[in-house]
Amino acid sequence: MKKDIHPKNYRFVVFKDMSNDYAFLTRSTVNTKETIVWEDGKEYPLVKLEISHKSHPFFTGKMKLVDTAGRVDKFRNRYKKFQEKQSN
C-alpha cells in the first residue's frame, strides 16, 4: 500500500439531518465552521445534511411508484405517425 495517502486529521463530527433533526456522531475529516454540543456534553463540529437514511424515500418506504407502462404507451402514441412513415 502507498504511504501517506490517507488524511491524518480524523476527529469526531456530528452529522445532522435538517429535515427531521436526526443526528449521529462519527469520525470524519470534513471541514466545518459550526459546532454543536452533543449528548455527552462535549462540543463537536457540525455538518448539516439535507437528507439521510432516516429521511430518504428509499429507506423510509415512502417511494413513489412510477407508471412505466403508461409512459411507454404515451411515447408510442406520440411517435406513432413517425413509425408509420418509416415502415412505408
Q: Where are the domains of the chain?
A: 11-87
d(CA 61, CA 64) in angstroms, rounded, equals 9
pLDDT, position 76: 78
Strands 11-17, 35-37: pairing is: unpaired
Which H/E stretch holds residue 47? strand 43-49
C-alpha cell belonging to residue 63: 417511494
Looking at per-residue confidence, does 59 or 15 come out higher?
15
pLDDT, position 1: 72
How many angstroms separate the Cα of 49 from the Cα of each of 18, 23, 30, 40, 76? 6, 9, 13, 21, 41
pLDDT digits (tens, 9 = 90+) for 32-65: 999 999 999 999 999 998 877 777 666 556 655 5
pLDDT, position 55: 73
Q: Is the confidence at residue 28, as pLDDT, over 80?
A: yes
